[in-house]
Amino acid sequence: MSTRQTGLERTNEFIHRHAATLAVVPVLIVTLVFYFGSTIWSVAMSFTASKVFPDMSFVGLRNYKRLFGDNLWSLSIQNLGVFLVGSLVSLALGFFLAVLLDGKNVGERVFRTIYLYPMAVSLIITGLVWQWLFNPSMGLQQFFRDLGLKDFVFNWVGDKNKVMYAVVLASVWQGTGFYMILCSAGIKGIDSEVWQASRIDGISKFRMYLEVIIPMMKFTFVTSFVLLAIGAVKAYDIIVAMTNAGPGGHSEMPSYFIVDMYTNRQNIALGASGSTMLLLIVLAFMIPIGVINLLVKKRK
Amino acid sequence: MRIVPEIRSAMVLPNRIPPKNPVSTVVIYLVLVVFAVLFAMPLYVMIVTSLKSMDEIRLGHIFALPQNPTIAPWDYAWNTAASGFLNKGLKSGFWNSIKILVPSLVMSVVISSFCGYALACWHVKFGGILLSCLLLCAFIPFQIIMYPLIKMTAAVKLYNTSFGVSVIHTILALPILTMIFKNFFSSIPTDLIKASRVDGGRFLGTFVHVVLPLSPNIMIVVAIMQITGIWNDFLVGLTFGNVQAYPMTVNLNNITQTQIGVRTYDVYMAAAMLTAIPPLVIYFISGKMFIRGITAGALKG
C-alpha cells in the first residue's frame, strides 16, 4: 500500500516537474509522425509500383514519366497557372476596394461586411451557386437575353475554353473581401507622417497611391501572393461543386487530379508522385520568399 | 505667430488626405455601392430561388422575387432529399457536422493552447526548432499527407467514422493554432508568470489562474475560426467519413450530384442556404473577431 502511494506521488512529482515538456509532446508527435512522417511516406511511395494496394518495389522515376505524359496532369498544371493569374484579380480588386474604403466613416462597416461574407460560406456553396448563375437557360445568360441582348452568350461552365474563367470568377467573388482586409490593414499601418508629407508636397492622391503607398505595401502584397498561390494549389472543393473537372477535363486542377487518383482511379503511386510535385511547387514559392525575408531581417 | 494656425490645422486635420470635393466622394460611394450589389447578388439569388417552385424557376427570371413564396424546397432539402444511398435529407449531415465539430474543436484548442503556453511562458528544450517545424507544417499541402493518414486512421479503426474526421481536423489545425497561441501568450508580461511561480503556482495553476483570464478574446477568435473552418470543410469529411459520417457539405454535394434527370435548383439552393446559415450567422454576429480569425489562420491547410 505504502509503496504504491509513493509510486503515485513520484508520478505526480514527475508530471509537475516536466509539465511544460509534456504539454509539447502531442504537438511534437503530430509534427514528426503525421506531417513529416506522412510526407516522407508519400514521397517514397511515388517511386514504387503501388497501384490499388501499396507495393514497395522500387521503379525509379517511372511514375513521374507517366505523370508528365498524362494529358490531364498537363492540363491541370496549365489550369493552375490560369487560376493563379486569375486570382490576382481578387488581390487587385481587394486593394482597390480597400483604398476606396480607407478613411470613410459612413457605411464602412456595412460595405466591409458585404464584401467579406462570401468568405464565411463553404466553397461547395460558392461552386453550386455560380454553377446556377451560369445555367444557360435559366441563369444570367437568360436574364441578359430578356433585357434585349438576343445573342448574349454567358455559358462559361459548359464551354471548354472558358470554364476556367468561370471558376476564377467564382473564386474571385469568394476571396476578394479577404484581400481587401489584408490591404486595409497594410494601408492603416502606414505612418501618418507619410500622408502629411505628401499633402504638403501637394501631389495628387492617385500618384500618392501609385508612387508611395504601393511600394510601401510590398510586404502585404508578398504575403497575399503566397496565400493566393497556396489557395490555387489547394483548389479542390470549388472544382467538385462547380464543374467536376469538366467539360472533358478542361477544368482539371492538380489537387483534384491527386484526390481522383487516390480514390476513383486507385493509382496510389501516381497520386503520390502528383502530390510530391505539389509539394515542390509550394516549396518553389516558399523558399525564395523565405530567403528574401531572412536577408531583409539581417540588413536590419 | 503666423505659423500657429498652420500648426493648429495640421493637428486638427485627420491623418488621411481629405477628399478634395463632394463629387469625388459621390463617385467613390457609387462605385462602392455597385460592388456591394455585385457581391450580394449570389446570396440574393440563392434566397429567392430557394423560395420558388420549379415551374416558376423555369420561366428564367433569375432575379425576380418569388410570386408564390413556398418553403417546400427547404422542407424537402432538410427532410427527404436523396443523397447517395440515403433519402434522409440534409438533417443527418447537419448532426454529423455537429458530431465532427465538437470533439475536434475541444481537442484542437486544448492541445494547441497548452503547447503554445508551454512554448511561450516556460523553458522547453528545442522549443525554437519545434516552432520552425510548425511553420513548415503549415505549408505542407493536405494531399501529400492524405493517403498515409488514411492508412494510419484505418490501422486504429478510426477511418470512416465521424471521430476519425475530428481527429484529422485536429491534426490539420494544430500547427497554425499552436503558433497563434504562442504569439498571443508571448505578449503576456513575464512578470505576471514569474509572480505566479514565486507564489508556488505550477504549470497548470498558472495557466488557469493567470493566463486564461487574460485570453478570452483569443479563445473566441480561435473558436470562430475553427467552427467556420470545420463546418465548411469538404475534402476531409469526404475522404475520412462514410455514408453514416458525412458532414453537411458532403451531404449537400451528394444531393446536387446524385440526382438523375431534372436538376431541381429550388432544392439545391435551399440545401445550400441551410448549410450556409450556421457560419453566416456566426459571421454576422462576430464581425471583427471573424476578421481576426481568418487573417491569423490564413495559412491553415
Q: Which domain holds residue A146?
A: 65-299
DSSP state of A61: T
Residue B8, pLDDT score: 42
Same domain membership, residue A202 and residue A131 = yes
Alpha-carbon Rg of chain A, whole angstroms?
Answer: 26
Same domain membership, residue A69 and residue A41 = no
CB of B90 closer than 8 Å to CB of B252: yes
Q: Locate the chain A residue with the closest alpha carbon to B114.
A: A23
pLDDT band of B9, cuts 50, 70, 90: very low
Instruction: List the one residue out of B289, B258, B265, B295 whose CA is nearest residue B48.
Output: B265
Same domain membership, residue A115 and residue A16 = no
Is the pLDDT at A226 greater than 90, yes or no? no
Same domain membership, residue A192 and residue A112 = yes
Q: Half-sphere exposure (CA, 13 Å, Cβ side) for B164?
A: 24
> Is residue A52 domain-resident?
no
Residue B13, pLDDT score: 47
Same domain membership, residue A38 and residue A169 = no
d(CA A97, CA A181): 9
> Is residue A56 domain-resident?
no
Q: Locate the chain B residue with the closest alpha carbon to A142.
A: B60
Residue from the list A42, A138, A230 with its beta carbon closest to the beta carbon of B144 = A42
A120·B283 Cβ contact <8 A: yes
Same domain membership, residue A104 and residue A244 = yes
> Is residue A51 domain-resident?
no
Instruction: List the one residue out of A204, A198, A213 whose CA is nearest residue B15.
Output: A198
Same domain membership, residue A203 and residue A250 = yes
Residue B301, pLDDT score: 38
Q: Count how many domains chain A has.
A: 2
Is the pLDDT at A219 greater than 70, yes or no? yes
A129·B171 Cβ contact <8 A: no
Torsion, CA A265, CA B300, CA B164, CA A51, rounded to 10 = 20
User: Which residues on adjacent β-strands are paired with residue B86?
Assistant: B83
Residue A5, pLDDT score: 61
Same domain membership, residue A2 and residue A128 = no
B143·A255 Cβ contact <8 A: yes
For residues B135-160, one letter each, b for 16 or more C-beta atoms within 10 angstroms of the residue's C-beta and e for the rest, the string is ebbbbbbbbbbbbbbbebbeeeebbb
> Is residue A112 domain-resident?
yes
pTM, two decimals, is 0.91
- Mean pLDDT (whole number) for A101-117: 90
Given CB atoms, is B293 within the 8 Å cutoff of chain A?
A: no
Please state, for a pLDDT cut of 90, what percent of chain A lies above it: 60
Residue A41 corresponds to which cell in the numbers above? Answer: 511516406
Given CB atoms, is B192 within the 8 Å cutoff of chain A?
A: no
Domains of chain B (ranges; CATH) run 3-50 (no CATH), 91-296 (1.10.3720.10)
pLDDT band of B259, cuts 50, 70, 90: low
Is the pLDDT at A296 greater than 80, yes or no? no
Same domain membership, residue A90 and residue A15 = no
Q: Locate the chain B residue with the closest alpha carbon to A100.
A: B28
CB of A252 closer than 8 Å to CB of A78: no
Cis peptide before B141 (omega within 30 of 0): no
Q: Give all strands (DSSP E) within chain B, no chain letters.
A: none
Backbone angles phi, psi at B86, to 5 degrees: -100, 150
pLDDT band of A223, cuts 50, 70, 90: confident
Q: Locate the chain A residue with the closest alpha carbon to B265.
A: A132
Is the pLDDT at B175 greater than 60, yes or no? yes
Q: Locate the chain A residue with the closest alpha carbon to B152.
A: A34
Residue A201, pLDDT score: 77
d(CA B169, CA B163): 10
Instruction: List the one residue out of B165, B160, B148 whose CA is nearest residue B107.
Output: B165
CA angle B270, B232, A244 (to 5 degrees): 75
Same domain membership, residue A115 and residue A242 = yes
CA dist list (Å): B184 to B215, B218, B229 = 8, 8, 20
Separation in Å, CA of A159 to nearest CA in chain B: 19
Instruction: List the one residue out of B109, B125, B128, B230 whose CA is nearest residue B181.
Output: B109
What CATH number is attached to the domain comprising A219? 1.10.3720.10
> Is residue A84 domain-resident?
yes
Given CB atoms, is A105 within the 8 Å cutoff of chain B?
A: no
Residue range A8-51, pLDDT digits in tens: 777 777 777 788 899 999 999 999 999 999 999 999 999 999 88
Mean per-residue pLDDT over chain A, rounded: 90
Beta-carbon contacts of residue A267 (< 8 Å; ≥ 6 apart): A51, A52, A261
Residue B4, pLDDT score: 43
CB of A163 closer than 8 Å to CB of A243: yes
Is the pLDDT at B185 greater than 90, yes or no? yes
By the 10 Å C-beta count (0-12 exposed, 13-18 middle, 19+ buried), B293 is classed as buried
Residue B3, pLDDT score: 41
A107·B29 Cβ contact <8 A: yes
B294·A45 Cβ contact <8 A: no
Look at B4 and B214; give whichever has higher pLDDT.
B214
Residue range A151-170, pLDDT digits in tens: 889 999 999 999 999 999 99
Given CB atoms, is B137 within the 8 Å cutoff of chain A?
A: yes
Please state, for a pLDDT cut of 70, what percent of chain A lies above it: 98
Separation in Å, CA of B115 to nearest CA in chain A: 5
CA dist list (Å): A10 to A16, A17, A55, A225, B61 = 10, 11, 47, 53, 75
A21·B124 Cβ contact <8 A: yes
Same domain membership, residue A39 and residue A74 = no
Please state, for a pLDDT cut of 90, what percent of chain B lies above it: 68
Residue B260, pLDDT score: 65
- Cβ-Cβ contacts under 8 Å, B284 against chain A: 113, 117
Same domain membership, residue A196 and residue A125 = yes
> Is residue A57 domain-resident?
no
